[in-house]
Amino acid sequence: MERRDFLKHSVTMTAAAAAALNGIPVSKAFAQAPSASGKVDLAAIQGGEPGIMFDKAMEAFGGMKQFVKPNQKVVIKPNIGWDTPVERAANTHPELVSRIIKHCLDAGAKEVVVFDHTCDRWKRTYESSGIEAAVKGAGGMMAPGHVDRHYAPVDVPQGVKLKKAQVHELVLEADVFINVPVLKHHGGAGLTIGLKNNMGIVWDRGDWHRNGLHQCIADFSTVRKPDLTVVDAYRMLMRNGPRGVSENDTALRKAQIVSPDPVAADAAAAKLFGTDPAQVSYIRMAQEKGVGVMDLSTLAIQRIRI
């Protein structure tokens, strides 16, 4: 896809966010409400390697023990959809996944399991993404997501288009669910962030595409809210998503967004990408369902430059 076509078909870029993408620090992209209590709703970090940025995010929140208690089972869901190397930015950065596992185990987690219902062949994708090696090296466990018997039917009471879904048992049984999307362009949804990354924990993604993708993403967001969303924006896929064609489609941003509020995380990430979050229908719809807050000016945001 030519750059002019990408700009034509992508959602509208705001002037402030466009400036952020052209060299202004990520912190300038977000309004911040002061918090008298010291409570942090969202951390926005820029300028470091993926692991170091997550370390700083956890410091802002008071440590992973705020989210993970001793002997709990943690499930981490990165984007591992594509049989491509890390330089293509189609998958979550393996260093970030490794560091999250370390923090969970240090907090006393009984076990940490990582999986995705991949789009490409799962064995090749787990390997080529670098995530399988990173997970094993950090003491976590990889689980396959391609077996239908591991998915259980659940109702979606607040669903408009999506009334039922088959959800992986790992997520349904987890004490703590951490969603770790990579921020990237997507031809159908405009952007892939956290709410859309949930498509990797259900069996029939095609049903969502057939029945209104944005509405189904928002409907499903009411089923299992992640305890923490960690948006990988170290290297962003700016066009030709979700797979990408070459490294020329990417931009090195060295940024990360972390929040227990999945809507806020997606809204902040959209602004970082250069998109007005109100123009991403699934973010707006999820807020309307009470899943989280899209208006970043109402939140206490810790902005960190490394």
Q: What is the CATH number of the domain that holds 217?
A: 3.40.50.11440
Closest CA to 271 of 21, 8, 51: 21
Helix boundaries (H) for the chain: 3-9, 15-21, 50-61, 94-106, 122-128, 131-138, 169-173, 194-197, 205-210, 213-220, 262-273, 281-288
Q: Does the pLDDT value for residue 147 go beyond 50?
A: yes
The pair of three-digit structure tokens given for residue 40, joined into one six-digit string: 């942090």
Q: What are phi and psi of 84, to 5 degrees?
A: -140, 155
Q: What is the dihedral of CA 30, 36, 41, 43, to 10 degrees?
A: 60
From 8-17, 187-196, 242-251, 264-273, the region with the lowest mean pLDDT: 8-17
Model-wide pTM > 0.85: yes
SS3 253: strand
CA angle 255, 238, 116 (to 5 degrees): 75
Task: Please compute the mean of the pLDDT values over residues 187-206 and round it to a whole number.
Answer: 93
pLDDT band at 244, cuts 50/70/90? confident
What's the CA gap between 21 and 272, in Å, rounded? 7
Domain that holds residue 157: 3-305
What's the CA gap between 155 and 158, in Å, rounded? 9
Show Cβ contacts of residue 161 under 8 Å, excluding neighbours closer than 6 positions. 211, 212, 215, 216, 219
Task: Please compute the mean of the pLDDT values over residues 214-241 and round it to a whole number.
Answer: 96
**Assign residue 33 a region: left if phi > 0, alpha if psi is -120 to 50, beta otherwise?**
beta
Helix boundaries (H) for 62-186: 94-106, 122-128, 131-138, 169-173
pLDDT at 30: 59
3-state helix, strand, coil in the chain (%, to 5): 40, 20, 40
The overall average pLDDT reported for the chain is 89
Number of structural domains found in the chain:
1
Write the DSSP symbol of residue 152. E
pLDDT band at 29, cuts 50/70/90? low
Instruction: Report how far apart, in Å, the C-alpha atoms of 241 and of each of 38, 91, 148, 217, 277 are.
Output: 38, 11, 26, 18, 18
What's the CA gap between 231 and 85, in Å, rounded? 18
From 4-8, 23-27, 70-74, 261-265, the region with the lowest mean pLDDT: 4-8
Q: Does the pLDDT value for residue 21 go beyond 50?
A: no
